[in-house]
Amino acid sequence: MEVLHPNIVIFLKLMKSTFYWYDEDPPTSLWDRCRRIYQYSRVVLFVLLFIQNVVGLYNTDGFGIAEGSFLHFPVCIQLVVINGMVFYSRKALIKLTTTLNKHFIESNEPWMIAISNKYTVPLWKMIKIMKVYHFYANIAFFLSPFIADTILHYGFDALEKPFYMPTPTTAWMATNATWDLQYYSVVFLGLWSMQEVMAVVMGFIYNYSILLIFALIQLTIMNEKVKAMKLDGTQKEVDAEFKAIVDSHNDIIRLNADLKSFLGVQCAFQSLFSSFTITLCLFTATQRPEFVVRTSFAWGAVFYASTTFIYCSLGQLLENKSSELFYALYDLPWYRCSPKVRKDLNMIMRQSHNSLLVDYHGHFKMNFESYMQIIQQAYSYFTLLNSMAG
């Protein structure tokens, strides 16, 4: 990608900040080299974090379900799976980004730029809000309890035992924990792991939201091209108009295939992961007596439910826009084109009958129907855990 569109530049900068983009260019500085070594080591570090979490939970009464430690079992799985998927599909992301960059550069007419701005302006505002949330969530939920514990203990000697939030490493916390080396080792490893959890979760939100909005822009431009067709010229001019539409639709089909190639497996995992995580957040919020812990986990349930709603809303928007394209294509006066072009037009009409979706081999579709299924599953799991706890 020699020439980058401004939207792609912003996208790449954001993906690099969350370790979702694996740069193929050689590092230019010592900082870049160290950062790249850490980026390629994250999969191994997350596997080790998952192993210690499993061993720690195995040695904990009730697998840490009542204390809230078990919640981080699926979180550790998420770290390994999502980061592993991003690593092994990094070439698919490069291909998809290259395709989108080509579409943006070619869509340089004023009305096309207006459509692009209609979607990207609110998108970048939403991303800014998410980045602010990302920053303050790290401070409020992870650093603040540690800072408060340190001040209350060393400054006022007001605590009988340490106060800490459940993290993937708290299963190793001693029953009668004190402010010793074991406590600080567990806490600092827990803080690192939660920073990575937020980076992976927010990185997926950024990645998914931006890629779907970019695809939606190209689909909208294609839709407007179909509606604006001028079919009052000569037969040669009419055939040229239809041929351009056929070529544009083939580009959209390839773009959707690239989108599924990169996001399909990740979305399938997120669909399974979300219901389980929402359940454990709600269960922990109802079982733990500490107000701060209950509030944090209740907010965690709201956060995961909200992000899942964003995924499914954007997927539904893409599906609705592809349905509009389907109706627009069927409204075309196909009898005006020559038999050869008519054959190609008939092919894309049959292709457009299937809505453009982000899914995994026809399953785990990202739309409102899937969202309702996820919430229903979360409610079923929650009632089951409550009945077992009661």
3-class SS string, 194-257? HHHHHHHHHHHHHHHHHHHHHHHHHHHHHHHHHHCCCCCCCHHHHHHHHHHHHHHHHHHHHHHH
Examine residue 209 and state whether it is found in any structural domain, yes or no. Answer: yes
Q: Measure the CA–CA gap between 176 and 172, rounded to whole angstroms.
A: 12
Q: Which of 262, 204, 268 is nearest to 88 (CA)?
A: 262
Is 86 inside any structural domain? yes
H helices of 89-234, where?
Answer: 90-106, 110-137, 144-150, 181-227
Q: Based on the number of CB atoms within 10 Å of its own CB, is 374 exposed (0-12), middle (13-18) or buried (19 or more)? A: buried
| CA separation for the pair 232, 196 (Å, rounded) | 59
- 8 A C-beta contact, residue 255 and residue 222: no
Q: How many CB atoms lie within 10 A of CB 74?
A: 17
Residue 109 lies in a domain: yes
Give the residues of the chain that fall short of pLDDT 70. Answer: 1, 65-68, 352-355, 390
Cα three-residue angle 248-246-354, rounded to 5 degrees: 85
- pLDDT reported for residue 68: 63
Q: Calculate Rg over the CA atoms of the chain.
A: 25
Listed residue (372, 207, 206) closest to 274, CA to CA: 372
* 76: in domain: yes
Block residue for tokens 């340089």? 108
pLDDT by residue (tens digit) across 298-328?
Answer: 888 898 899 899 999 999 999 898 888 888 8
Number of structural domains (the chain) is 1
Which domain range does residue 116 map to? Answer: 6-389
Query: How long a stretch of residues is the chain?
Result: 390
Asked, for residue 1, whether it belongs to a domain, the answer is no
> How far apart (Å, rounded) are the C-alpha atoms in residues 332 and 136?
52
Crossing angle for the helix pair 30-58 and 72-88, nearest 10 degrees?
140
User: Residue 295, Cα to own-chain centre: how many angstroms?
Assistant: 24
Enter the tokens of residue 331: 């409204």
Distances (CA, A) of 264 to 90, 93, 178, 256, 365: 14, 12, 46, 11, 9
Compute the distance between CA of residue 283 and CA of residue 277 in angstroms, rounded to an integer.
10
Q: Is residue 376 part of a domain?
A: yes
- So what's the pLDDT on residue 28? 85
In a domain, 57, yes or no: yes
Query: What's residue 349's pLDDT?
Result: 73
Q: How many helices (H) and strands (E) does the chain have?
A: 11, 0
Structural domain includes residue 61: yes
